[in-house]
A = this chain, B = another copy of it.
Amino acid sequence: MEIRLTSGKTIPVLDGETIYRSLKRQGVYLVSSCGGKGTCGKCKVRIVEGQVETLSYGKLGQKERAAGFAIACQAFPKGDLLLDIPRESRLAVGDKIAVSRSRDLFELLESFSTAVSPVVRRLILEVPPPTIHDNISDVERLKRSLQEAGIRGMRFSHGFVKSMTEALRNAGWKIVLGYTEDFEAVFLGSADKYRDRYGLAVDIGTTTVVVYLVNLGDGRLIDVGSTYNSQIRYGDDVITRIVHATEHGGLHELRDAVVSDINDLLAPLIERHGVDREDIESVVVAGNTTMSHLFWDLNPASIREEPYIPTVNFFPRWKAGTARVLVNSQAPVWTFPCVASYVGGDIVAGVLASKMHRNPEVALFMDIGTNGEIAIGNNEWLVTAACSAGPCFEGSGIKHGMRATEGAIESVRINPETLDPELGIIGDSKPTGICGSGMIDVISEMFLSGIVDLKGKLVKDRGGRIREGEDGAEFVLYEDAERSVVLTDVDIENILRAKAAVYAGVSLLLKEVGFGLEAIEKVYIAGGFGNYLNVDKAIILGMLPDLPRDKFSFLGNTSVTGAYLCLLSEDLRKEAEEIASKMTYMELSVSRGFMDEYLSALFLPHTELGLFPTVASLMKK
């Protein structure tokens, strides 16, 4: 059996495999918030020819079913198929992130004034070949040459020893030796046949996994891959993942999922660029505390239970072979240190990438992704906290929510006269949903034009786009014969909860350190939709503090940027450890003040309007 795609590709189907899995196996990824459970309905495909057996049609309407649509994760081919994948169902792996980023990244690295110094160092050695009169063993021979080069105490793992007899002879005893900062041998190659060597920078996000393939010689970013974190099938947020991990076999499943994601992303990258896996000599991983624990195959149960204790914050160096990342099995895996159960290595990486830990000015760092984390400080002090914003800005829990890919409404302006929205859509196409930046836009616009009230409720008689839908009142952003994109009362409530959590976190953290908002000189926005966020609108929403606009900078995915930096610099790996040690963590969940701040922030923009002077003046207009 096989599936032909209208785009031309042909894909073999294995017995008992859904369309979703067949496509995934061949590198055709579909959008799927639920990870193939049939609940999100986002992986819909159109059967042009052929028959399928379908477990469920999920949220597909009659019209769509009649038109041949099916949910790919619920449909099993009954024979050969001709399949059309609608644009909105196709998960664009890696696009939009990389392209021209390589130079920017390397410039960022250079701006730290640090030497390129990967996790694995290299040494060229000429080892005298053995003779009957100089017949010490290979290991002792190498040690002797190292000693002559001034290096003592090199450690050799079983895997290295196992490979070295052949490697020494293949290299004709003129070798390049790779070893870690703390003198553990990693690889042994021929000094005469120079080969490029590579590293992986990995960001394990709760929602997405991003892999950078980097040339360690010149620091060049070779290529980028990104995908949904397959753990999503076991839950959208860290709490549901932790719960799943404590169930029988759950930890194993979660670890398998994320390691497979990394390996699946890697496979096309190395194929595309003709890179030998064995030449990938180091891996740097950044993720929040739960993601790091799951990657490390550690039961995260105690992260969730008071007093919220992770097993480890400063991860020992690990080996790719043990981690099951399919690169050189001896390659060291360096995991970003975490700060506490809910402030992880991704935030340490972000602070590092922002450089706020090096500057005297007080900065606010905000990562608004699946979780919300905040750090405030400068080169003398750093405080941090987590506010459970939830994954709504990634599209989860929002009726037509989606990731910022083609077809997503990413910006909205509402005509104050007609109350009609003007939509900015990613790509040149009809809208298929709304992403995080679009949500922020539309609510702030709706608020200013009176379509929602201070509490975020739709004002029923305010224009013809408000109607009663399946899930209560909804605002119609777009509608044509085939589809509609709406925002419901429930959606707005979810978004307000998320923004309130973020703002309350900032407020409380500032109070704890005894500063006012005016002390903040810089605001760094990181996270999934950073680059697409409209600051004015986010301030109207009351998510960001009402500060001069020139103080805000967007840094994009700082987790993977930090991983890239640490892949290439020993100094920055040390700085990352210093940041993690230095950061004071505030546990908001046990703070009496947090609930007060949160409740005050549930309004648009805030109960205390004086905190938002520019919004107040807009409201007067």
Contacts and interface: CB of A to CB of B under 8 A. Distances in A.
A312 interface: yes
Contacts of A140: 312-314
Contacts of A296: 158, 161-162
Contact of A307 (B135, B157, B340): B135
**Interface residue tally of chain A, by bracket?**
35 or more
A308 interface: yes
A189 interface: no
Interface in A106-162: 130-132, 135-141, 155-158, 161-162
A154 to B, nearest CB: 10
A310 B137 contact: yes
Interface stretch (A64-72, A298-306, A376-384): A298-306
Contacts of A302: 138, 165, 169
A312 to B, nearest CB: 4
A314 B136 CA distance: 10
B155 A299 contact: no
B311 A165 contact: yes
A166 interface: yes
A258 to B, nearest CB: 16
Contacts of A161: 296, 298, 311-312, 316
Contact of A165 (B136, B138, B298): B298
Contacts of A169: 302
A136 to B, nearest CB: 7
B137 A311 contact: yes
A137 B322 contact: no
A164 interface: yes
A299 B166 CA distance: 9
A307 B130 contact: yes
Given A162-B298, A165-B299, A298-B165, A135 B585 contact: yes
A295 to B, nearest CB: 11
A452 to B, nearest CB: 38
A137 B309 contact: yes
Nearest to A155: B316
A318 interface: yes
A575 interface: no
B156 A313 contact: no
B310 A138 contact: yes
B340 A135 contact: yes
Interface string A316-336: 101000100000000000000
A590 interface: yes
A536 interface: no
A313 B161 CA distance: 11
Contacts of A420: none
Contacts of A155: 316
B139 A307 contact: no
A132 B590 contact: yes
Interface in A328-381: 338, 340-341
A587 interface: yes
Given A130-B309, A132-B306, A587-B132, A139 B314 contact: yes
Contact of A139 (B135, B313, B340): B313
A164 B169 CA distance: 42
A297 interface: yes
Contacts of A299: 165-166
Given A299-B165, A322-B158, A312 B132 contact: no
Contact of A308 (B135, B164, B308, B322): B135
Contacts of A136: 309, 313
A10 B313 CA distance: 55
A132 B590 CA distance: 8
B316 A157 contact: yes
A465 to B, nearest CB: 48
Contacts of A156: 312, 316
Contacts of A297: 158, 162
A205 B164 CA distance: 25
Given A299-B165, A307-B130, A312 B158 contact: no
A130 B306 CA distance: 10
Interface in A572-609: 585, 587, 590
Given A137-B314, A162-B297, 8 more contacts: A132-B590, A139-B312, A156-B316, A158-B296, A158-B316, A158-B322, A164-B311, A165-B302
6 contacts: A132-B587, A137-B313, A138-B310, A161-B296, A161-B298, A162-B297
